[in-house]
Structure 1
Amino acid sequence: MKATLTYIGLIVTTLVFSQNTEDSFPNAIKKHIKEYNKQSDLAFKENETVKAQVLFDSLVSNYLIGTQFQDYTLKSFEKKKTKLSKFKKPVFILTYASWCVPSKGEFQALNKLAQKFSKDVKFVILFWDKKHSIKKIAQKFNHNITICYAHETYKNDALIVSHLKHTLGFPTSYFLDENLKVVNIKRGGAQPNRKSSFVQAYTMNYNAFRDGLGSLLIGKNIKDEQLTTN
């Protein structure tokens, strides 16, 4: 155990030189993404998945949490354009793509969480696709989740694609407070074993997203929820 902790500590040290002093998320990601990508790519090349996760968590905790997210204008599937600041509440954004294969129970878990907490948090799933590509997948989500899309070929999407898709990739979860300050950033949902039952996979995904939402729902009891698939 001691050797493992030392190993992880060395990994973090190679990426972290100072605590976050950046004002904006775009500036912070621009400043630190090159070094992160260099080390992350090497970790994946060497099949060091634990190291890769530690590097991601270190980037987020030391440089991105506390930065100011840009007030992007989102295009929803319902043909509405809305700035993030118009939501007037904490925002959970999950970036995705129509061709991504969701894990078992992932979308059901998101729907359940949105049903429970949409009064307190705005749920947004942002697909890196053209509108016609998400027509079918958009139907898998309930009305508590706002489905949006952005694509490189749309002239007004250049910034959000550059800042989010081309840096931290997808699926990625962004947790923002009501003032659009970054509270946390995580990878997508859980990765249950293929042999896991639906209930097991659903529960893993529910817990993964719920833990992230916990940073936005301080003071609310979300730890002792009875998990069901209804």
Structure 2
Amino acid sequence: MRVYLSIIATLLVFLAFSQEPKTYFEHEISKHLKAYKTQSEIAIENDDKEYAEFLFDSLFDSHLKSSYISEITLNKANGGRLNTSNVENAFLLITKSAWEQLDSKEIEAINRMSIMYKGQIDIVILFWTSKSIAKKRGSDFNSLVTVTYVDERENNSNHIIKPYKHSFGAPTCFYISEDKRLLNIDRKFTANLDEDDSELAFKSAHQQIKLILFEDKKTNEGIITTLN
């Protein structure tokens, strides 16, 4: 009898842990974003970039890392829709503002990345603008890169997609795993990067992809960028 009771107790503990509720990105960011922004704005006013980075790292590591993303449906610039629940691979969601001009080096590198990791990682570009502008600005990406858009004039009630813009602005790159967990976030701290800083950002993005998504796989090519 004691053996059976022990087995039942073990099973109950296992079930309790296995049924632990998931945490979702949009819920966590809504709870913690206000305090983060207040403190980070003070750090920026005081020109304390190191503390601002510390605040972001603390927010991400404590509340956002490994949180799940809810299902998102995005309009494709060339027609049709993309549902994130149907994306089989890990993917990068790279957000772009309506007024941001794309750099040719960035487009070239993203196209190259899509070829390098074909079948392993998908790349989704999200323009916060109208369909016509998104289609025009996304025309230089190859067919492996999915160009989407959100026109907020027609999307005022979508609380799930809004945090991807209003939390950290644009451009921002969200690294999302196959099981739809948020693994990392890249965002620009300053509006203008010089050439050396830009090159470091490119290499950092490449390293994150290798370490987080493909740590057991090797690539022969050198740099990748998701940032301007």
User: Is TM-score (shorter-chain normalized) higher than 0.5?
Assistant: yes
Partners of 1:86 and 1:156 in 2: how far apart?
Answer: 24
In structure 2, the gaps of 5 or more residues are 1-20
| 1:151-170 alignment runs, 5 A limit | 151-155=151-155, 158-170=158-170
| 1:24-173 alignment runs, 5 A limit | 24-102=24-102, 105-155=105-155, 158-173=158-173
* Structure with bigger gyration radius: 2
1:65: how far off?
0.7
**Distance 1:83-1:104 versus aligned 2 partners, 3 A rule:** closer
**Distance 1:59-1:113 versus aligned 2 partners, 3 A rule:** same
**Distance 1:49-1:101 versus aligned 2 partners, 3 A rule:** farther
1:118: how far off?
2.6
RMSD: 2.7
| 1:212-223 alignment runs, 5 A limit | 212-214=208-210, 215-222=212-219
- For 1:29, give the aligned amino acid: I
1:135: how far off?
2.7
- Stretch deviating more after TM superposition (155-164 or 49-58): 155-164
Q: What secondary structure, in the 3-state scheme, does the structure 2 residue paired with 1:91 have? A: strand
Q: What secondary structure, in the 3-state scheme, does the structure 2 residue paired with 1:209 have? A: helix
Deviations 1:160-212 (A, max 9, x none): 44221111211111111111011111215997525x6xxx95x5454132123
Partners of 1:138 and 1:111 in 2: how far apart?
Answer: 11
1:84: how far off?
0.4
Task: Give yes or no for contact 2:77–2:132 (8 Å, CA) kept in 1.
Answer: no
Identity fraction in percent: 25
Q: What secondary structure, in the 3-state scheme, does the structure 2 residue paired with 1:106 have? A: helix
Task: Give yes or no for contact 1:75–1:148 (8 Å, CA) kept in 2.
Answer: yes
- For 2:123, give the aligned amino acid: F
- For 2:69, give the aligned amino acid: F
TM-score (norm 1): 0.78
1:155: how far off?
3.5
Partners of 2:123 and 2:67 in 1: how far apart?
Answer: 20
In structure 1, the gaps of 5 or more residues are 1-20
Give the equivalent residue in structure 2 for 1:15. none
Residue 208 (structure 1) aligned with residue 204 (structure 2): yes
**Distance 1:136-1:149 versus aligned 2 partners, 3 A rule:** same
Q: What secondary structure, in the 3-state scheme, does the structure 2 residue paired with 1:105 have? A: helix
Q: What secondary structure, in the 3-state scheme, does the structure 1 residue paired with 2:158 have? A: helix
Count of residues paired in the alignment:
202
Q: What secondary structure, in the 3-state scheme, does the structure 2 residue paired with 1:95 have? A: strand
Task: Give yes or no for contact 2:78–2:135 (8 Å, CA) kept in 1.
Answer: no
- Stretch deviating more after TM superposition (70-79 or 207-216): 207-216
Partners of 1:189 and 1:81 in 2: how far apart?
Answer: 31
Partners of 2:145 and 2:202 in 1: how far apart?
Answer: 15
- For 1:120, give the aligned amino acid: Q
Partners of 1:209 and 1:189 in 2: how far apart?
Answer: 15
TM-score (norm 2): 0.78
